[in-house]
Amino acid sequence: MKRISSYILIGFCLFISCSGQENKRQKQQVTKNKKMNSLKSAPYNRTDEGDGTESNYNNLSPDFINKTKKILEQRQYQFPDENSFNHKISKVFSFCPKEYANSIITLRPGMFPEVAIRKDRFILIQDASANSPDFISPDLLYHFNSYIFYNAPLSYTWLESNNPDVLFDLVVYYGYNDDKKIVEKVFEKFDFNSLSNVEELIFANSGPHKILKKQIFDDIETIIYKGRVEDFSYAKQGNGYLRIGEIINKISFSPNQYIEPEKIIAYLFERELRVGIQGDVERYLNNNVYYSKNLKNNNFYNLPTLKDYVEYIYQYNKTFIIQDPDGYTNLRKSKNTSSDILQKVKTGEPIEVLDNSGDWFLVKTKEGKEGYIHKSRIQSD
């Protein structure tokens, strides 16, 4: 009877132990599920092809994945460990796999995008010109992964000779610039005269907004302009910033399309000034009388070259005077010739321009009165 009681006690303890382990496993699974549910969905896994069809890489065939994996295995490709895989994807493609719940992550929208296969730790890449129904080029697949994860010199040489477009995309689309020999090759053939090309080079999309890829500007300065100027007495020769003025105008007219548009504009001026280009910032300051004060209020966004230029070269406290053949002009309450006259301002008298947008400037007289004067009666001294 005593032995039976012992068996019952042991069995009860085992039951309690197993139940405790099961509860622990369930709690761990719940925690894991909560964590997975809190992660983002990969933004490009589902894309509209434009003809009523949709690509969904979440449903990528396991057989297809295994087929591409076997190609790499047959070539004795060494698959990286998980940490190395995540680090390289983050470094090269600006995509952190740990932020997403998906086991397959499409790295950009497009017909044949690069696709990170997390479980097997390789990048699926297709070739539109490949002579196969699934557009898989074994050479491209192997050399692309070998270069991305191991920086293999032979693979770089093969890509440069056979598929230079994929190297171009690493720099221009993804903003990868750790390997300077790729950046130099891309810049040799890059059309800096094309507004759309330059926008693609310097901006990345973050949801519906554009964010500046600041890392590429050091390369433009070093490779295209051969370094920065020592002062503002001359400008470096180069074509890297040919379209920056137009881009600044686009940001000014559509600021909601950009993340921190004012900071972006200031940063672009800073980079131009570093190589001696002054025309764009001078025109902007002339056309936006508040801008210099806004810069000062924001401590020039910690951009030292822009600060030096505005404070010591541009001399933003310009004097504006009245110039009217009648000997005076009228300060009016509104932007039209029939509005109330607040004051008569004599020719030669200085005024402070508060807003110079449009045909009527908002000004302040030396007596402290604010009103509107037509721009044809105002001259910069």
Q: What is the pLDDT of residues 320-377, one digit of tens each?
A: 889 999 999 999 999 999 999 999 999 989 888 887 778 898 889 989 999 999 999 9
Query: Residue 91's pLDDT is what?
Result: 95
Three-state DSSP at 183 gives helix
Domain boundary among 314, 342, 360: 314
Strand partners, 100: 40
Verify that 42 and 168 share a domain, yes or no: yes
- Averaged pLDDT for residues 49-78: 89
State whether 210 and 155 are in the same domain: no
What are the E-state strand segments in 273-356? Answer: 320-322, 328-332, 341-346, 350-355
CA 93 – CA 224 distance, rounded (Å): 24
Which domain does 152 fall in, by range? 38-47+54-172
Q: Structure pTM? A: 0.74
Q: Quick one: 228 and 163 in the same domain? A: no
Domain's final residue, options 172, 201, 220: 172
Beta bridge partners of 124: 115
Q: Which of 314, 340, 360 is the last residue of a domain?
A: 314
- The DSSP string of 191-217 is -TT-HHHHHHHHEEEETTEEEE-THHH
- Burial code (b: 16+ CB inside 10 Å, e: under 16) for 311-330 equals eeebebeeebbbebeeeebb
Same domain, 62 and 153: yes
**Would 225 be classed as within a structural domain?**
yes
156 and 114, same structural domain?
yes
Give residue-wise pLDDT tens across range 197-246. 999 999 998 778 999 999 999 999 999 999 999 988 899 999 999 999 99
Structural domains of the chain, count: 3
Does residue 296 share a domain with residue 367? no
CA angle 304, 306, 307 (to 5 degrees): 65
Residues 299 and 228 in one domain: yes
Phi first, then psi: give them for residue 247, nearest 5 degrees: -65, -40
Q: Are residues 250 and 300 in the same domain?
A: yes
Question: Of residues 52 and 65, which shows the higher confidence score?
Answer: 65
Average pLDDT, the chain: 88
Predicted local confidence at residue 36, as pLDDT: 47
| pLDDT (0 to 100) of residue 151 | 96
**Mean pLDDT to the nearest integer, 267-283:** 96
Number of helices (H), then strands (E), belonging to the chain: the values are: 14, 14
Apex 195 CA angle, 189 and 199, nearest 5: 90
Q: Higher pLDDT residue, 102 or 20?
A: 102
Domain match, 293 and 370 both: no
Rounded Cα–Cα distance for residues 197 and 184 (Å): 16
Residue type, 379: Q
Of the two residues 86 and 380, the one the predictor is more confident about is: 86
Q: Are 350 and 319 in contact (CB under 8 A)?
A: yes
pLDDT of residue 133: 87
Q: Under a CB-based contact definition with an 8 Å cutoff, are residues 125 and 68 in contact?
A: no
251-261 pLDDT, tens digit each: 999 999 999 99
**Within-domain flag for 168:** yes
CATH number, position 356: 2.30.30.40
Asked whether residue 168 falls in the same domain as residue 42, the answer is yes
- 165-171: long-range contacts (C-beta < 8 A, 24 or more apart)? 166/125, 166/140, 170/92, 171/201, 171/216
Q: Is the same domain home to 102 and 216?
A: no
As a whole number, mean pLDDT of residues 50-55 equals: 70
Does residue 157 sit in the same domain as residue 42? yes
CB contact at 8 A, 245 and 279: yes
Query: Each residue of 9-39: pLDDT tens digit?
Result: 555 555 555 556 666 565 555 454 544 456 8
Give the residue, 27 or 55, on which the prediction is more confident: 55
